[in-house]
Structure 1
Amino acid sequence: MKYNEIIKIPSILIKEGEVPEGTKYTIAIPTYKRANLLKEAIDSCLAQKTSIPFVIMVVDNNPERNCETEQLIQSYKVSNLLYYKNAKNIGASGNWNKLFHLAITDYVVMLHDDDLLYNDYIEKIDRIICLYKGSVDVIYPAIEIFTQNKNSFERQKKGAIRAMRLHSYDFQFGNACNIVGVCFSRKSIIEENGFDDFFYPSLDYQMHVRLAKKNKLIKLFGIPLVLYRILENDSLKLSTMIEVAKKDKEIIESIIDKYPTWYKKLFISFFKAYPKYLLLALKNKLSFPDQELEQKIIEYSKNVTLVDMLILRIMTQFKARCMHLFRTRTLIK
């Protein structure tokens, strides 16, 4: 559901917080029936060590009143926490777009309800935006993966933060960025008419490619600012991965459409091997054997040669290891 459609659907303000004048940042959390995880996400936001004003906004896709999530939010006695309920469940893309409709600050940090921020996130992001003098639409922070519950959001190690400007061609071998904890210019998302549910479950990938055309995307390397929790949920389902392969192919084809014919021929092998590549990655993330997944990998393997897999490996390794060489600059030491 696109932005111009979503603004017609009402959202009810359940908990009214304060947005101090001059506030630049909203940490926006879409949620649906995951109060136990949401608490950790909110606590990580409240643990920010900064004098920079920010607000936390939770947008609930569950219209049910007095649910566990609503009770959790009402238990917080802080002034910078806002809580909305959508009048109906509007799906993932709809709720993502709601974040930008309801926020009133210049920048919106998208935080999933199972992920966390390090306590210096706001301080570091603000320094980087100031260094670029506002000429940036998106900042992709480095992430740290975890699986267990987390009760400390203080950084255990320090280091430098490097940055690189992204272009459309950086996304030609797959999604080069994670949406977890990404800081967006609110205006840039609205101008693009928001996330497009046609590309679900690759909503974020397609948005990255659209925004990359403006040459205002910054990817950070070095110390992580965000904690990304790996859970066995909808994003780790076989059906989801198969659909990801389909939508990713459409997105990549749009990027390479004007490239030379000889170059596009390399992607014949890439696209043949890509579904198998994604399913193997899914297999490695699961903590239990999945017979249906194993059968699907065998099925895809029948049409994929060693040469196809080799070409894909070279392309994806280039994306992971080489795209930032000679292009990064140190922002924070």
Structure 2
Amino acid sequence: MLSEKANRCIINTMDYEGDVLLTIAIPTYKRFDLLKETLRSVFANDFKINIEVIVVDNDPDNDMLALQEMKEFERFQFKYYKNSENYGMFGNWNQCLMLAKGKYITLLHDDDLLKDNFSSTLDISRLEKDDFVAFNCGVLDERTAASKPRTHLLYSFIKKFYTRVREIKHKRRRVIDIKTLFFLNVFMGTLAVVFNRDKAIAIGGFDEGYYPVADYHFWSKWIVKFGTVYIDPEHVALYRIRENETMKQQTIDAFIEKDFQLREEICRNVPVMKAYAKYTNLLKQRDSMLFNFSWSNNEVKHKKNVINILKYFILRVRCAIFFTLR
């Protein structure tokens, strides 16, 4: 059962105490340069509904530094919470759920950005009907050339092909059921997703035992419990890629293994998915090549040569065929 953990509010410029329809919650940890960019993107939006903006800082110390860094935003309405201890990444996401006052919530990571069309694109009438709306995101790749995996002409060609196919598909509303999520993790964490806060709490929030894919696990729980969701075609946010925890080989390996464990769990616990258990190993192979080609600089273990790239292409095609024929 989720519960609010010890914290203190060190900034509260809110002058509205009525019902809040939407909370924009920003979990953060020692990244004031990025956090300020994120806040600027939020306050650039013109909301016509009652919202609250909360920052939930997982660093229990450095209060004076936080107050100093936030002076830029003293004319805006928001709350800044400090956790009494570091509760971990997904523990902090759960803290955001508990501290939010809105009927609906979106979790905005402290390195990502809302575009200024987010507020105008958000369809409140549909949100109140479905308790869930999601949109597309762009990518802001700020990795240095040295930190990016080495390119290969054949791989670049295949990547451009799949990118073009994805762009065509994303121009229309996408239907996301549990089978789709099983084959494709279609969400960028929680970015550009607005959902009912009470329902999120009811399914237990984010399970820290599924680090680093607790968000993927959360969406699978949501769809199993509440049914099919949809992703609308508008781009309303930017997903930032930098040299961070995701780049580490240990984290990449954990992504692959936890994705595999989650798919096995889905097959065990969701009756309509039992027949898909035979694909879990194939999808693990695909994920291993995809994640390492996209993120890892370990050229010895994951070398981009013609043979490996062709293996990857064949895996992608096989998975696409099995998904289409499902």
Range that drifts further, 181-190 or 63-72: 63-72
CA positional deviation for 1:267 = 3.6
Q: 1:272 to 1:114 in 2, by over 3 A?
A: closer
Is the CA contact 1:31–1:113 (under 8 Å) kept in the aligned structure 2? yes
Which of 135, 146, 169 in structure 1 is aligned with 2:140?
146
What is the aligned partner in structure 2 of residue 280 from structure 1?
A: 293
Counterpart of 2:55 (choices 47, 58, 68) is: 58
* 2: CA distance, partners of 1:205 / 1:262: 21
* Aligned-partner Cα distance in 1 for 2:321–2:244: 27
1:131 aligns with 2:126: yes
Q: Quote how far apart the aligned CAs of 1:177 are.
A: 1.2
- Aligned counterpart, 2:267: 256
Corresponding residue of 2:12: 16
SS of alignment partner, residue 15 of structure 1: strand
1:294 aligns with 2:314: no
Q: Deviations over 1:177-229 (max 9, x none)?
A: 112232121111110111001100001000010001111522122x3000111
Query: Map of 1:61-72 to 2, 5 A cutoff?
Result: 61-72=58-69
1:48 to 45, 48, 51: 45
The equivalent residue for 2:158 is none
Structure-2 change in CA distance of 1:187 and 1:112 (3 Å): same
Aligned residues: 292
CA offset at residue 104 of structure 1?
0.8
Q: Which amino acid aligns with 1:203?
A: A
Q: Could you tell me which runs of 5 or more consecutive residues in structure 2 were left unpaired when the two chains were aligned.
A: 144-169
Indicate the residue corresponding to 2:314 in structure 1: 310
Q: Which runs of 5+ in 1 are unaligned?
A: 150-159, 284-289, 324-333
RMSD: 3.0
**Residues 318 and 141 (structure 1), Cα distance of their counterparts in 2 relative to 1, 3 Å cut:** farther
Identical aligned residues as a percent: 26
- The structure with the largest helix share of the pair is 2
Sort the Cα spacing of 1:260 and 1:189 in 2 relative to 1 into closer, same or farther, 3 A. Answer: closer
What letter corresponds to residue 202 of structure 2 in structure 1?
Answer: E
Distance 1:59 1:65 in 2: 14
Distance 2:23 2:171 in 1: 22
Equivalent of residue 258 in structure 2, options 238, 247, 254: 247
1:41 Cα deviation after fit = 0.5
Residue 282 (structure 2) pairs with residue 269 (structure 1): yes
| C-alpha displacement of 1:73 | 2.0
2:24 aligned residue: 27
Residues 166 and 266 (structure 1), Cα distance of their counterparts in 2 relative to 1, 3 Å cut = closer
2-structure distance, mates of 1:56, 1:317: 43
Tell me, yes or no, if structure 1 residue 219 matches structure 2 residue 231.
yes
TM-score, normalised to structure 2, is: 0.80
